[in-house]
Structure 1
Amino acid sequence: MKTSHRALGAALTVLVMAALTSCGSSSGSEPAAGGTTTLTFLVDNSQATVDTAKALTDAFMQANPTIKIETETRPGGSEGDNIIKTRLSTGDMSDVFWYNSGSLLQALNPAQTLVDLTGDPVLQNVQKDFLPVVTQAGKVYGVPGGTAMGGGILYNRKVYDKLGLKVPTTWAEFMANNDKIKAAGITPLISTFKDTWTSQLFVLGDFYNVQAAVPSFAQDYTANKAKFAATPAAQAGFDHLAEVHAKGYLNEGFGSATADQGMKMLIEGKGAHYPMLSAQLPPLVATMPQAATDVGFFGIPGTDPAKNGATLWEPAGLYIPKTTEKLEAAKKFLAFVASPPAADAVSKVVQPAGPYRIQGAKLPDDAIQVAKDLQAYVDKGATAPALEFVSPVKGPSLEQITVAVGSGLTPPAEGAAQYDKDVEKQAKQLGLAGW
C-alpha cells in the first residue's frame, strides 16, 4: 500500500475486485427521438460498487422510463484517480461519476469542475453529518453512494455470551474483558500483520476519541499546529497497539497472519476481538453464514463512557461535472440515489456493511449484526468521520510504523513521532499552509 489511509480502501478493493469490462459508453448522448435522455455514469470497478451502481440505475430507470443510464467502469487506486482528474480537465467526464468523499475531493478542484449542489433539493434526504465530507470551501458537491463502514473492534458475540461479558465503553473495561478471555483459553485480540494495512486500525479507528477530546485536532493537524506525538489523545492509538502486545493478548504467529485468516479465526470464535473494518464481513456471509449474526462491532473505547462512540469511513460520493449537458436529468438521478427507495434497491443486491447516510433509509431486517451495531451509533449521534475524510495530511509509512509498534519493536511515543515526520513530505507536496 502506498499511502497509509488509502491502504485501507485499497485493501477492501482487493476483497471485491473483479475483472470487469466497460458496461457502456463514455460519450455523451443527445436526447433521442421520443424524448429519451441518456446519462453516462462512471464508477470504479470493484464488484461492490458495480453491483450497487446497477441496483441504483435499474431502479431509477424503472421509475423514470424517459431517462436511460449507461454505466462504464474505471480502475481503482491511483490509476483511477488519474483517469478522473484527466477527464475532468479535458471536459470528457461522464454526466455523473462515483468518487471518494473526504479529503481526496479537494484534489479535483471542485469549485472549477463540479456542479455546486448547496441548497439544492437534491440534498433534502442526505444526513447532515455526511455533508462535510462532500463539501469544499463551504460548497456541497455530492450525495452518498452506498453505506458507511465502521473502523473499530469486531468481536465474537458468542464468546461474549459464554463468558458473560458486556460491550466495553472505556479502554479499561476493554482490557478487563481481554484478561477474562485470555483466562478462558481464547485469544483475546487478533492481529494480522502479514497484511500490513490491518495494523493501522487502533490508530485510525480511534479518531472519534481524538475528536471528542480535541475537537480542533483535524484542523490544527492540517495546519501543522498539532502532532500525534504531542497530543495524548492522538498518541493513544499507538499506546493501545503497544499495550495489547505487551499484555500477551495477541494470537500466535500474528506477524505472518493474513486478514482472511484473522476473519476466519474471529468468526469461528478462536479469537474474541479483531480491530478491523466492518466491510470485511459481508463478502464472508455466503461461505460462513454465522458471520452475519455471531460477529458484532463496537467503537474503540476511550476514557470517558459518557463520550463513547465510533469512527466511520464515509461512503463515496456521486458528483456532476460542470461539463454535463443534461444537468436536470443528472440532478434527478442524484436525488433518487439520496432517497430511501434507492437504499432499499441496493440492500436487495448488496449486503450493507454499515448504515446508509440517507434520512429515512432503513437497514433490511436481515442486515448483518455489525451494520445494526453501527446504525445504533449513528442514531445516537456518536460518530466521527475517520481523519482521512477531514484532513488531506497522510503519510505513506503508517502501516510499517504500526506493525513495528504493535510487534513491540518500536515504543509508541517513538512511533507517533515517526508518523509525524512521515506526513511532512506529502503535506509540503500538497502546498498546505504552515508546512
Structure 2
Amino acid sequence: MKKKSVTLLGFVMILMLSMSLSACGSSGGSDDSASSGGGTDTTGTSSGGSTGSGTELSGKITFLTNRTDMIGKEYDDYVKRFNEKYPNIKVEFEGSQTDYNQQAKVRMAGDELPDVMFIPTIPNSDLPKYFAPLDDLGLDDKITFKDFRSYEGKVYGITTGNSTSGIVYNKKAFADAGITEIPKTWDEFLAACEKLKQKGIVPLASNFKDKWPLNNWVYDLPRLIENNADFPNAKLNTDTPFTMDNGYGKAFSLIRELNEKGYLEKDINSTNWEQSKKDVASGKFAMYFLGNWVINQVVGAGTTSDNVGFFPLPYDNSGTLRAALSPDFFYAVSKNSKNVDAAKAFVKWMIEDSGYEDFAGFIPPLKDKESKLAQLKEFQATGVELQEGTPDDATVTDILNKAQIDLPAMVQEFVLAKDPQSVLDKWNKAWAKAKKDLGK
C-alpha cells in the first residue's frame, strides 16, 4: 500500500469523487458456493446491487459488538428499521464486556463465532478460515479501505467507519484555564497541560488501566513521528525494532512524560472508561488523545456539541501537524453461520442505511458520503496532513504473536518502569528470538 498524506478537505473531496483511499488492486470475483449456502444472491439483490424486498430472507443472527452502550437503545432502533426491509430476520446483540480483540480470538479458537462480528487482529491469510467473502454485496467499488481486510482478491471485512486521531477537548475547561490558542508544538501542549493542572483540571484522560485507549500512542503515533505509514513493517529488517530514538521510543516517551509531570489521571492504574467520558464532558478532565469517534460519546455523556473541540496532537516542536487516517473495526460474517445470507444482508444494511457512522462520529465507510461531524472543520483548519495507515505485514503479525508482544501492554510497562530502556531491551530480545525461531 502506498503511503498518502492529504489534507482533510482533500480526503472529503476524495470521498466525493469516489476515488480509492486504500491501495489499488483487483477485488476479484467471489465464489461463495461453499460458504454461503449454494452461491445464491445473498442479500436479496440483483447482480447490479439494487435492493430487493428482503422478504425471501429469514433466520436468526447474532452480532457480537463492543458497543455495549448501544444495546437496548440505538441498536433497537436499527433492528426496527432493518426489519422494515427484512421482516423475517431476527437480530440479537451480544455485548463484549472485556477486551473485544481477546474475546473474539477465544471464540475463534473454540469455533464458536457469532454470525456477525468485528475482525480481531489476525493475519489476512487467516480470514478465509473463519469468514465468508463479502464481494457479492455490490459494495466493492463503493467502500473505503477495501483491500485492508482482503485476501487473494476477496473482501472479508468492511470497515464500520474511519477515524483520524487527535486531541478531543472541552472548550470551557480550556477557557477556564486561560488557554486562548490551540497548541501547535509539544512545548505549547505541555504549557497548556500545566495551566489546566494549576486550575485543578486533569489535563488528559488516558484510561491507562483499560489498555485499549492507548492504541493511538503505539499504533498511530510512531508512524507519524517517523513520517512513514509503513514504519511498523520496517521491524522485519532489524532485531531491535524498539529503540529510544525511533518512532516507538519517542511515542512511548511522550506519554511517560505526561505521567511524570502529573498531567494524566492521579492513579492511572484505576481509571474507568465510562466515567472518563462524563468527566471530559463536565470539564473535570480536559482532553483525550483518541479518534474522532469519541466526540459524539463525550457529547452524549453530558455536554453540548459546541463545547467539544478537536485538534491534532503536536507531538514535536516542528510546527508540522500530521494525524493518522485509519479504519475502525471491520464487519465480518462467519462462514459457518447457519444464516450467512441473512448475516450479509444485515452487514450491508448497517453500511448503507443504519447511519451508524454519524452516531459513532466516524468518517463514512462509503466513498460518496460526507462526514456530518462539525469538529472535523476545526481539525481541518489547522492545516493538518492525514497519513493513511497500512496493514501490518502478515510476517510481522506472526512474529509479534510468537513473541507475545502486545504494544499497548508494552507502553504500560514502559511508562511505569524505573528504567524504560530495560523494557525495550526485554521486548527486542523477545522479537529477535521469535524472528529467528520462525526463520524470518
TM interval, short-chain normalised? 0.5 to 0.7
Q: Is the 8 A contact 1:42 1:71 kept in 2?
A: yes
TM-score, normalised relative to structure 2: 0.65
The 2-side partners of 1:300 and 1:285 are apart by: 20
Give CA deviations for 1:229-288 in whole Å, capped at 9, x if unaligned. Answer: 1761222111102322344434544454444554444333234333346655655645x4
1:360 counterpart letter in structure 2? D
Q: Does the alignment pair 1:62 with 2:84? A: yes
Give CA deviations for 1:15-43 in whole Å, capped at 9, x if unaligned. Answer: xxxxxxxxxxxx99999xx9722255331
Return closer, same or farther for 1:403/1:224 CA change in 2, 3 Å cut-off. same
* Aligned residue in 2 for 1:382: 386
Give CA deviations for 1:207-241 in whole Å, capped at 9, x if unaligned. Answer: 4515x523432223367666121761222111102
Return closer, same or farther for 1:125/1:336 CA change in 2, 3 Å cut-off. farther
Q: Is the 8 A contact 1:134 1:140 kept in 2?
A: yes
TM-score, normalised relative to structure 1: 0.66
2:141 counterpart letter in structure 1? Q
Q: Which moved more, 1:396-405 or 1:37-46?
A: 396-405
2:411 counterpart letter in structure 1? T
* Aligned residue in 1 for 2:366: 358
Return closer, same or farther for 1:73/1:84 CA change in 2, 3 Å cut-off. farther
Matches within 5 A, 1:325-404: 334-339=347-352, 342-344=353-355, 346=356, 351-363=359-371, 372=376, 382-385=386-389, 392=397, 393=400, 395=404, 398-399=407-408, 401-404=410-413
Shift of 1:170: 3.7
Shift of 1:357: 1.6
* Aligned residue in 2 for 1:24: none
* Aligned residue in 2 for 1:206: 221
Return closer, same or farther for 1:28/1:86 CA change in 2, 3 Å cut-off. farther
Return closer, same or farther for 1:202/1:180 CA change in 2, 3 Å cut-off. same
Helix, strand or coil: the match of 1:70? strand
Shift of 1:358: 1.7
Question: Which one of 132, 149, 154 corresponds to residue 134 of structure 1?
Answer: 149
Question: Which one of 146, 153, 158 corresponds to residue 172 of structure 2?
Answer: 158
1:217 counterpart letter in structure 2? F
Structure 2, unpaired ranges of 5+ = 1-35, 43-53
Question: Which one of 332, 351, 354 corresponds to residue 318 of structure 1?
Answer: 332
* Aligned residue in 1 for 2:8: none
1:100 counterpart letter in structure 2? I
1:268 counterpart letter in structure 2? S
Shift of 1:206: 1.4
2:329 counterpart letter in structure 1? P
Helix, strand or coil: the match of 1:41? strand
Give CA deviations for 1:329-351 in whole Å, capped at 9, x if unaligned. Answer: 76665544432xx143x36xx83
1:125 counterpart letter in structure 2? K
Q: Is the 8 A contact 2:130 2:335 kept in 1?
A: yes
2:119 counterpart letter in structure 1? N
Question: Which one of 406, 416, 435 corresponds to residue 415 of structure 2?
Answer: 406
What is the number of equivalent residue pairs in this alignment? 378
Alpha-carbon RMSD:
4.7
Helix, strand or coil: the match of 2:91? strand
Matches within 5 A, 1:33-52: 36-44=56-64, 46=66, 47=68
* Aligned residue in 1 for 2:116: 97
* Aligned residue in 2 for 1:217: 231
Return closer, same or farther for 1:40/1:169 CA change in 2, 3 Å cut-off. farther
Matches within 5 A, 1:271-310: 271-276=285-290, 282=296, 285-286=299-300, 288-290=301-303, 292-303=305-316, 304-310=318-324
The 1-side partners of 2:111 and 2:207 are apart by: 38
Q: Does the alignment pair 1:269 with 2:287? A: no
Question: Which one of 190, 199, 210 corresponds to residue 175 of structure 1?
Answer: 190
Helix, strand or coil: the match of 1:203? helix
Helix, strand or coil: the match of 1:406? helix
Structure 1, unpaired ranges of 5+ = 1-26
Shift of 1:201: 4.8
Q: Does the alignment pair 1:83 with 2:107? A: yes
Return closer, same or farther for 1:387/1:122 CA change in 2, 3 Å cut-off. closer
* Aligned residue in 2 for 1:242: 256
Q: Is the 8 A contact 1:194 1:255 kept in 2?
A: yes
The 2-side partners of 1:402 and 1:123 are apart by: 37
Helix, strand or coil: the match of 1:296? strand
Q: Is the 8 A contact 2:137 2:348 kept in 1?
A: no
Helix, strand or coil: the match of 2:58? strand
